Amino acid sequence: MNPRHVLLAVAVAIVWGINFVVIEVGLQDFPPLLFSALRFFFAAVPAVFILGKPRVAWRYVIAVGLVLGVAKFGLLFVGMSHGAPAGLSSLVLQSQVIFTLLFAVLVLRERPRKTQLLGIAIACVGMVLIVLDHGLKAPVGALLMVIAAAACWGVSNIVTRHAKPQDTLRFMVWVSAVAVVPLMLLSLATEGAHADAEALKSINLTGVGAIGYLSFVATLFGFGAWGFLLRTYDASTVAPFSLLVPVVGMAAAWAFRGEAVGAQQGIAAALIIGGMACTVLRRRTRRDSGVLTRTGWPAVSQSSPR
């Protein structure tokens, strides 16, 4: 990769890693579903008028909008609001790599490599260690929501592979726009109009900054830059940079939120990241003959966010 593009890939990973700390901060000012809806509203609604219509079938835009935008982010935000720490969430959410691979095997009938199966086994051991960690601050229910969010992300990756969007940013902007109304309705139904109104009335600079970061930095810059890299390089070259996201997320949570990482969580993190590395790294070959090689972050034939 061009050195400047390496720096760009690292910058995206840093932005997406810090994203989890920003979510945790924003949840102090907003109910989780309202917060998620606002994030997508400001990222997508102005942009759709600039970028124009999506260049893929509407069924794919709607499907990914509901599975990724509503289900994945809704579960993540609710899980974090119920006590899943930022650093731990950034790590657990990356198990989407494993879910993507599993769904590709079950739905697309793709053949996993032995190293990918080994990677799944290693990462699963790490996930079990996290769940069994008695010092874990997160309630089990909150942690399960984050795991469910990762599973939804995996489903959306498979749908996106079918969609094959040529313009990742345009596709993700419309996916985000689809998510706004369902998230707002869910917020009104579960969090209540009074709570939403109070949050909007008492909004402060911290809340504005959190929405701005998630909307413009994490979403528009992140997806725009990642989509550019995936159009420029093979997915197997770009995807490994996503492994930096949980590393940055856990470091940022430690630095800014005082989230300690115990010995067992440290071992679990190493196992999960190592297992994910096995699923996305491969030797270069002249042809890919039906073997799973692009299950980490969706490429031009797959898509991605945090």
Q: Alpha helix locations (H) across 27-139? A: 32-51, 58-64, 73-81, 86-93, 96-107, 114-132
Q: What is the DSSP letter of 305?
A: -
Contact of 152 with 71, CB cutoff 8 Å: yes
| pLDDT mean across residues, the chain | 82
Q: How far is CA 222 from CA 50, 114, 209, in A?
A: 18, 32, 17
What would the pLDDT profile of 247-283 be if each residue is shown by its tens digit? 888 888 888 888 776 677 778 778 877 877 776 665 5
pLDDT at position 121: 81
- Cα dihedral 158, 138, 242, 34 in deg (nearest 10): 70
What would the pLDDT profile of 191-202 be if each residue is shown by its tens digit? 999 999 999 999
pLDDT at position 75: 96
Q: Which residue has the higher pLDDT, 38 or 274?
A: 38
Q: Which residue has the higher pLDDT, 89 or 287?
A: 89
Is 189 exposed, middle or buried (CB count within 10 Å of its CB: 0-12, 13-18, 19+)? exposed
Closest CA relative to residue 18, chosen from 297, 269, 247: 247
Beta-carbon count within 10 A of 119 CB: 25
Give the mean pLDDT of 200-228.
90
DSSP string, 148-173: HHHHHHHHHHHHHHHH--S-HHHHHH
What would the pLDDT profile of 143-161 be if each residue is shown by its tens digit? 899 999 999 988 988 888 8
pLDDT at position 296: 36
| Cβ-proximal residues to 217 (8 Å cutoff; 6+ apart), any chain | 15
| Cβ-proximal residues to 242 (8 Å cutoff; 6+ apart), any chain | 13, 94, 97, 280, 296, 297, 304
